[in-house]
Amino acid sequence: MRMETVLFDLDGTLIDTNELIIASFTHTIEKYADRPYTREEIIDFIGPPLIDSFQKVNPDLVEEMMATYREHNYAHHEQYVEAYPTVVETINELKQAGLKLGIVTTKLSDTAKLGLKITGMDQLFDVLIGLDDVENAKPHPEPILKAMNLLHANPMTTLMVGDNYHDIEAGHNAGVKTAGGVAWSLKGRKVLEKHDPDYMLEEMRDLLAIVGVE
């Protein structure tokens, strides 16, 4: 069945914010944690909501850490952020083919919109669901269900694309097809395969055949 709606995670899926995220975590942890964290430990924080990650660092100062992280992250977006290879042209082709497109992210909406603007994709999506738009973040199905509701999308013809386990599990929980982006994921193919995505992408352009555009 041809896909009619494609929902995307943002960081690590459409735009490369990995070094920005690592820098923001490092800046925050140096200020609040009781020990240094390795790069590998910080990479494990990428994906889930900030509150979940910072609970593991210092549960007594989560709000302060989130504020520090967000201030640093927003201020340094233009220094770090760029779209992954084949992303912008693929999204444009999907848009021209008439598919409904949405962003479902654990970032705050304003910061997500900034990343889209920097990479020239701010006019390509029909809906953006950020962390501040929902009560429950991915892997809860609420963000995907809210996006589908706004787009009047059919779960049977909707695909969720992400680079992390919570994207795939949120898709499963919402009853939609899922695709894992592996060639550019810090997590790697094996981590995503454990969560049984319907498709695995080596590059974003692979989506065109999957959804029936080419």
Report d(CA 196, CA 151) in Å as an integer. 26
What is each CA distance from 80 to 17, 73, 104, in whole angstroms? 7, 10, 21
Which residues are within 8 A (CB) of 127 and not within 5 positions of it... i.e. 6 or more apart? 102, 103, 147, 150, 151
What would the pLDDT profile of 82-111 be if each residue is shown by its tens digit? 999 999 999 999 999 999 999 999 999 999
User: Whose structure tokens read 């201020």?
Assistant: 75
Structure tokens at 136: 């429950």
Segment 36-68, tens digit of pLDDT: 999 999 998 987 889 999 999 999 999 999 999
- Beta strands 158-162 and 177-181 are parallel
Catalytic residues: 9
pTM value is 0.89
